[in-house]
């Protein structure tokens, strides 16, 4: 059963308040039309970011006049925790907090605390992860770990300071992100590092990144540049195929394929033959993995998307604020997931790439 911390406290005090979950959790996996279970939820907690990465939030589009969501439009931390509790009752075991840049949202540590009190329907703790650009990790890592966060994924596209500053486009120095990674590890968080590779922008830094993280215990993963959103001017020519990345690193330090960590993993794993750890590649463009996709995504304003490349989402904030019960919300979610047929990456074409898809900064990576 899933209870929020406050409902447990009330229960302990002998209050007659009902627990937050007022419906029977489903025991069978909740499957979509392609038999994919709902297991992971990514929640975007803000559409704002302190970086302007050229491939994600280009300055020309996300400038001073850009209409970001207003505070009242965002789900509150308590609303987020309530929705996550309902998802946990439907089978979600892992929750990833993302954005925008999640660490720019005030009181993110409190959200982690609320989520850490939620149990899966097997009675375990949720696995809590957070994706960040690392810029605020030095200040926040300890508080996040103390609040119950299990792991962080830090986005870091280049070790070359000049290239990094050019990619984040706010002149942010790479050393501060590296310090953030060290702070996260020192706080006891498991760390992964994600690098998006864009042809001509940072593909000459692949080996340097691999060298930096070999033997550290932090898994480095390379992500193919994707046609998310419709503002980054994506072209297939800009994609460096995962196979090329593996070949480039393998030519320096021989690699061997490893078994996937989980059936729904986004990344393909390769181990260094000399035992210095592993790398991963996320080949969403050249080797799509829709078949194992068990992820739902909640935007900061409470729209549920069942695919990263969705053009529209389902409004949850409306029913939530109109007083829907947990049972009603669970029914809504069940209906959305069980009708799901998305497999965008497998169907990608010139026409679909041009569709007005939601931005990565809105829905989260
Ligand atoms: N601000 C946080 C961060 O930097 O990790 C979380 C949000 S960011 C949108 C999540 C991830 O999406 C980052 O690793 C980013 O590099 C990646 N990303 C953004 N646009 C992308 C694109 N077009 N193709 C591939 N990855 C992209």
**From the alpha carbon of 133, which atom of ligand 1 is closest?**
4
CA of 1 to the centre of ligand 1 (A): 33
Residue 274 C-alpha to ligand 1 middle, in angstroms? Answer: 31
Q: Whose CA is nearest to atom 4 of ligand 1?
A: 133
Tell me: the pLDDT tens digits for 142-194?
Answer: 999 999 999 999 999 999 999 999 999 999 999 999 999 999 999 999 999 99
Whether residue 96 has pLDDT greater than 50:
yes
343/348 Cα distance (integer angstroms): 9
Using the mean position of ligand 1's atoms as its centre, give its distance from the Cα of residue 362 in Å. 11
Ligand 1 pocket, CB under 6 A: 49, 55-56, 98-99, 101, 131-133, 155, 194, 196, 223, 225-226, 228, 232, 360-361, 364-365
| pTM of the entire predicted model | 0.91
Strand order in the sheet with 94-98: 255-257, 268-272, 278-282, 219-224, 190-197, 151-155, 127-132, 94-98, 40-44, 295-298, 303-305, 314-315
Q: What is the per-residue pLDDT across 45-55, written as a single tens digit (0 to 9) for each?
A: 999 999 999 98
Protein residue with its CA nearest to atom 23 in ligand 1: 226
Six-digit token pair at 250? Answer: 């393998």
Tokens representing 117 are 């009190």
User: What is the rounded average pLDDT of the residues 86-91?
Assistant: 98
**Which candidate, 362, 238, 235, 241, places its Cα nearest to that of 309?**
362
Dist CA 66 CA 361 (whole Å): 13
CA 50 to CA 57: how far, in whole Å?
10
């Amino acid at each position: 059963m899933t209870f929020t911390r406050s409902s447990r406290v009330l229960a302990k005090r002998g209050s007659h308040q009902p627990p937050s979950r007022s419906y029977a959790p489903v025991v069978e996996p909740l499957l979509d039309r392609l038999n994919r279970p709902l297991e992971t939820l990514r929640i975007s907690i803000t559409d704002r970011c302190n970086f302007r990465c050229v491939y994600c939030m280009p300055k020309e589009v996300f400038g001073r006049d850009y209409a970001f969501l207003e505070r009242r439009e965002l789900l509150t931390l308590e609303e987020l925790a309530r929705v996550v509790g309902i998802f946990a009752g439907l089978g979600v075991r892992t929750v990833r907090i993302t954005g925008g840049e999640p660490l720019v949202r005030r009181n993110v540590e409190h959200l982690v605390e609320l989520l850490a009190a939620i149990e899966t329907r097997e009675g375990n703790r949720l696995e809590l992860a957070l994706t960040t650009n690392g810029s605020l990790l030095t200040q926040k890592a300890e508080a996040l770990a103390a609040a119950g966060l299990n792991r962080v994924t830090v986005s870091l596209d280049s070790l070359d300071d000049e290239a990094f500053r050019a990619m984040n486009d706010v002149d942010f120095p790479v050393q501060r992100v590296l310090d953030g990674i060290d702070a996260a590890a020192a706080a006891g968080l498991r760390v992964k590092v994600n690098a998006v590779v864009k042809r001509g922008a940072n593909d000459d830094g692949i080996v340097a990144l691999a060298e930096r993280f070999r033997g550290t215990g932090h898994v480095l993963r390379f992500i193919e540049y994707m046609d998310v959103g419709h503002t980054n001017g994506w072209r297939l020519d800009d994609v460096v195929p995962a196979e090329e990345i593996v070949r480039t690193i393998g030519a320096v330090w021989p690699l061997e394929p490893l078994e996937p960590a989980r059936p729904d993993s986004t990344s393909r794993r390769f181990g260094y033959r000399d035992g210095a750890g592993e790398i991963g590649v996320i080949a969403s463009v050249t080797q799509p993995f829709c078949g194992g996709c068990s992820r739902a995504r909640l935007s900061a304003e409470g729209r549920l998307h069942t695919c990263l490349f969705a053009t529209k989402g389902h409004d949850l904030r409306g029913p939530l604020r109109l007083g829907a019960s947990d049972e009603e919300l669970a029914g809504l979610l069940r209906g959305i997931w069980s009708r799901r047929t998305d497999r965008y990456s497998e169907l990608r074409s010139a026409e679909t790439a041009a569709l007005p898809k939601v931005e990565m900064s809105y829905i989260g990576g």
